[in-house]
Amino acid sequence: MSDAIVVINSGSTSVKFAGYQHDSSDSLNLVCRGQVQGIGSHPSFIAKGGDGKPLDAHEWEVGYPLSQDGALKFIFEWLLRHQGDVRVLGVGHRVVLGGMKYEKPVLVTDQVLADLDALCTFEPSHQPYELAVIRTVRNLRPSIPQVACFDTSFHRTMPRIAQLYALPRKYREGNLRHWGYHGISFDYISRQLPRYAPDARRVIVAHLGGGCSLCAMLDGKSVETSMGFSAIEGLPMSTRVGQIDAGILLHLLKADRMDPAAVESLLYQKSGLLGISGVSGDMRELQESRAPEAAEAIDYFAYHCVKFIGAYTAVLGGLDALVFTAGIGENSPLVRAKVCEKLDWLRVKLDRAENDRNSLRISGPGSAVAVLVIPTNEELMIAQHTLMLVAR
C-alpha cells in the first residue's frame, strides 16, 4: 500500500485535483491531476498523469445537474479505481481568505470551519465553494485529516500601515483591510528563488494569469502586494477590473441606478482585458488578434505592471530580481518584453532570444536586475504543507 496526499482547488464551476505519492524519503511525486469543469452548464472530466499524458476523460450531457458534491464524489471514485491500493494521508485545500486568525496552514476542525464561514461575506466568489468541498470530503471520508492553506497567509508579514485602509477605526480594525492574495504561489516562488538568485534580497514577483497580482518581497517575506481587500484590486486581469476610482462605483449605483449584483458582475466578469478589448479576456487570443482594441488591452496591461513595479521598487529601496510566473508570466514573451523595456531606468536588460524561448533567466549581460521566469506550483506547495501538518 502506498501513501498519498490529495490536493483540491474548488471554484464555482470547477473542482481541480492533484494526487501526490509520498515515499519513505519524504518526497512528494505527482502521479495524477485533473478537474471536473463546466459545473452548472456542460460538465466534463479530464485526468492526466504526472508526465502530462492523458489518463481518462468523461463528459456529461449538456444541462446535467452535476453539483460540486457530485463532482468530488466522481473524483474520489476515480482515484480509488485508477490509483490502486492507496492510503490517503490527508487532503489539502486552497482557501482564499484566512482572516487575521489564520496566518499559516491549519488542520480543519469544527471551529476552523465556523471561523472561515464567517468570512464568506467578505469573499463570496471563492470562499463558500472551497468550504463546501471541505464538508463534502468530511462526509465522504470522515477519518481523513484535512488542511486549509490560505492565499492571504503569506501577506501577513506586510507592515501594519500596508494592511490598513484610510477608513474610520471601527471599520479598519475589523476585516476591512488589505489582505492580498495568490499567497500560495508567492510562497512557492520565495522558496525556489534562492536556487537561481541566492543574493537577491529585494524581489518583485509578477503572478500574471487569469488573476494577476504583484508581490514585493524583502528577504523572502511579503511587504506589499497589489490585490487588496478583494481579488479585483490592483492589476487589470482577464475579466476583473483591477484598480478603479471608488467614485465610479458610486456613480454607477446612483446615476446609472445599477444594483450591487450588476456592479459586482461588471467588476468581476465584464471588465479587465475583456472590457478594454471587447475581444477576449484571454491574453493568447489578444496576442493573435489584429484588432487595435486587442493591442490597446495588452499595452494597458503592461503599463499597469510597470506602474506597480516602479512603486514597489520604491517600497523596497531598490530591486535585485524580477520574477514572472503563472500562465501569462510564464508563456508570454510579448508581455514580458513590453514590461521590461519600460524598466531601463532600473538598468533592466532583456536577452530577447532567451525571452522568446521562455528560458529561466531572461536578463542579459549587464542587467542590474536578475529577470527570471519561474513556473509556479501551488498544488505542490499545498501538498507539502498538508504532509507536514498531518505528519505531526
Specify the pLDDT at position 256: 80
Q: Which of 105, 111, 110 is nearest to 90 (CA)?
A: 105
pLDDT digits (tens, 9 = 90+) for 58-75: 888 877 888 888 888 888
Q: Do domains 2-150 and 183-378 have the same CATH topology?
A: yes
The arithmetic mean of pLDDT across residues 292-314, rounded, is 97
27 φ/ψ angles, rounded to the nearest 5 degrees: -85, 155
pLDDT tops 60 at residue 202: yes
Mean pLDDT of 148-170: 93
Residues 6+ away with beta carbon under 8 Å from 232: 240, 241, 242, 267, 268
Query: How sure is the predictor about 172, in pLDDT bands with cuts at 50, 70 and 90?
Result: confident
- Provide the pLDDT for residue 390: 87
Q: Residue 287 contacts by C-beta under 8 Å, 6 or more apart in sequence?
A: 294, 298, 332, 334
3-state SS, the chain, equals CEEEEEEEEECCCCEEEEEEEECCCCCEEEEEEEEEECCCCCCEEEEEECCCCEEEEEECCCCCCCCHHHHHHHHHHHHHHHCCCEEEEEEEEEECCCCCCCCCCEECCHHHHHHHHCCCCCCCCCHHHHHHHHHHHHHHCCCCCEEEEECCHHHHHCCHHHHCCCCCHHHHCCCCCCCCCCHHHHHHHHHHHHHHCCCCCEEEEEEECCCEEEEEEECCEEEEECCCCCCCCCCCCCCCCCCCCHHHHHHHHHCCCCCHHHHHHHHHHCCHHHHHHCCCCCHHHHHHCCCHHHHHHHHHHHHHHHHHHHHHHHHHCCCCEEEEEHHHHHHCHHHHHHHHCCCHHHCCCECHHHHHCCCCECECCCCCCEEEECCCCHHHHHHHHHHHHHHC
Question: Is pLDDT above 80 for 82?
Answer: no
Per the listing, cell 501577513 goes with: 156
HSE on the CB side for 171, CA within 13 Å?
Answer: 10
CB 385 within 8 A of CB 4: no
Report the pLDDT value the prediction gives residue 1, as an integer from 0 to 100.
54
For the chain, give every domain's residue range. Answer: 2-150, 183-378
Per-residue pLDDT, averaged over 321-339, amounts to 96
Average of per-residue pLDDT values in the chain: 91
- The arithmetic mean of pLDDT across residues 293-319, rounded, is 97
Structure confidence at residue 14 as a pLDDT band (50, 70, 90): confident
Question: Which fold does the domain 183-378 belong to in CATH?
Answer: Nucleotidyltransferase; domain 5 (3.30.420)
Q: What is the pLDDT of residue 84?
A: 67
The confidence score (pLDDT) of residue 129 equals: 84
- Stretch 262-274: mean pLDDT: 92
- Residue type present at position 310: G
Q: How confident is the model at residue 88 (pLDDT cuts 50, 70, 90)?
A: confident
* pLDDT value of position 146: 95
Judge whether residue 77 has pLDDT over 70. Answer: yes
Distance (Å, whole) CA 203 – CA 154: 15
When pLDDT is averaged across residues 324-342 and rounded to a whole number, the result is: 96
Least confident stretch, 122-126, 184-188, 237-241: 122-126
Residue 203 has pLDDT above 90, yes or no: yes
Output the pLDDT for position 25: 63
CATH 3.30.420.40 applies to domain 2-150: yes
Give the span between the Cα atoms of 375 and 325, in whole angstroms: 5
pLDDT at 377 over 60: yes
The 10 Å CB-count burial string (b at 16+, else e) for 96-122 is bbbbeebeebbebeeebbeebeebeeb
Neighbours of 69 (CB within 10 A): 15
* Orientation of helix 183-196 relative to helix 378-391, angle to 10°: 100
Q: Which of 133-137, 181-185, 234-238 has the lowest mean pLDDT?
A: 133-137
| Measured distance CA(118)–CA(55) in Å, rounded | 39
pLDDT of residue 24: 65
Residues with catalytic function: 151
In the predicted structure, residue 158 carries a pLDDT above the cut 80? yes
Q: What is the pLDDT of residue 63?
A: 77
Is pLDDT of 334 > 80?
yes
Q: What is the pLDDT of residue 38?
A: 84
Question: What percent of the chain is predicted at pLDDT more than 70?
Answer: 98
Of 136-150, 309-323, 361-375, the poorest mean pLDDT is in 136-150
**74 phi, psi to nearest 5 deg:** -60, -45
The model's pLDDT over 40-49, given as tens digits with 9 standing for 90+, comes to 778 899 999 9
Q: pLDDT tens for residues 350-359?
A: 999 999 999 9
Nearest-CA neighbor of 185 among 228, 235, 225?
A: 225
